[in-house]
Amino acid sequence: MADFRPDPLLDFSGKVALITGAASGFGALLAEELGRRGASLVLGDINEDGLAPVVEKLTDAGVAVQAVACDVSSETDCAAMVALARENFGRLDIAVNNAGIAPPMQYFEDVEEETFDLQHSVNVKGVFFGMKHQLKLMRTQGSGIILNVSSMAGLGGAPKSSAYAGAKHSVIGLTRTAAVEYARHNVRVNAICPFYTLTPMITDMTAPEGATVEQVHGIFAAGCPMKRLGKPEEVVSAMVMLCSPALSYVTGQTLAVDGGVSAF
């Protein structure tokens, strides 16, 4: 990992990147990709046991890493991650608000208030609290890049996922608003919207009564022009691109990584 020589477009040497939800899925893979391209990392996840092997692998590869337990629904925890970056590396160049959860699939009328509130606590507050403190530091620095992980459910309707879709639509609203507010400070804010991808959120999902997970995956794939689900590395490649300092005139955008679904 330490011997990797990136193309200048994707060179993160000397950059400091913060990633939430870094114990698995997109977060863990993105940490590895940014680390081998020269970035120092601040990683957070509520799952400390899952975060530990990610940190160990990166450290063994010579990547500078700081890690902390982080519940993104807590503003205190989100602020602590930004403080950790400032205290240990002196700045924060890139922040990826990746942590998120998905509820069991349910019809709209069956969603309980507790489920709705949890979706918004993690998927909306988690992004808002993170951005609030990331933006403050980046404004002071006069530069920064924020990438928020939304979903295709944030771009359109998502049957049996109403609470999740509402939360992910909110992520896009927060992204666009911050992009407009902070563009004058040389801070760029974008979002990525993956289609169903084979991360633990999808592979470990609970299928609706009367169906198997494999059947649900088949239904998802049938709705995609490529007739398959996404691979985590396909989404992470797009995330790396959106985090590139070279994309200096791109802000307020939402990139669908969806196998062509949004082309319908």
pLDDT at 162: 96
Q: In the prediction, which pLDDT does 173 show?
A: 98
Q: Which two tokens stand for residue 155?
A: 């771009």
d(CA 101, CA 62): 31
Nearest to 115 by CA among 125, 105, 130, 126: 105
Residue 6: the pLDDT is 67
Residue 179 and residue 192: Cα distance in Å, rounded? Answer: 14
Q: What is the pLDDT of residue 147?
A: 98
How, if at all, do strands 16-20 and 65-69 pair? unpaired
Q: How far apart are CA 30 and CA 18, in angstroms?
A: 10
pTM score: 0.94
- pLDDT score, position 167: 98
Rg (CA), the chain: 18
Give φ, ψ of 198 to 5 degrees: -80, 60
Rounded distance between C-alpha atoms, residue 194 and residue 181, angstroms: 25
The partner residues of 255 in beta bridges, in order of sequence, read: 192
> Which residue numbers in the chain have pLDDT < 70?
1-6, 206-208
Q: What are residue 82's phi and psi, to 5 degrees?
A: -65, -40
pLDDT of residue 7: 83
12-195+231-256 to CATH, choices 3.40.50.2300, 3.50.50.60, 3.40.50.720, 3.40.640.10: 3.40.50.720
pLDDT digits (tens, 9 = 90+) for 221-258: 898 999 999 999 999 999 999 999 999 999 999 999 99
Partners of residue 94 on adjacent β-strands: 17, 145
So what's the pLDDT on residue 3? Answer: 59
Q: Annotated catalytic sites, by residue?
A: 164
* Structural element, H or E, at residue 128: helix 125-141
At residue 34, the pLDDT reads 98
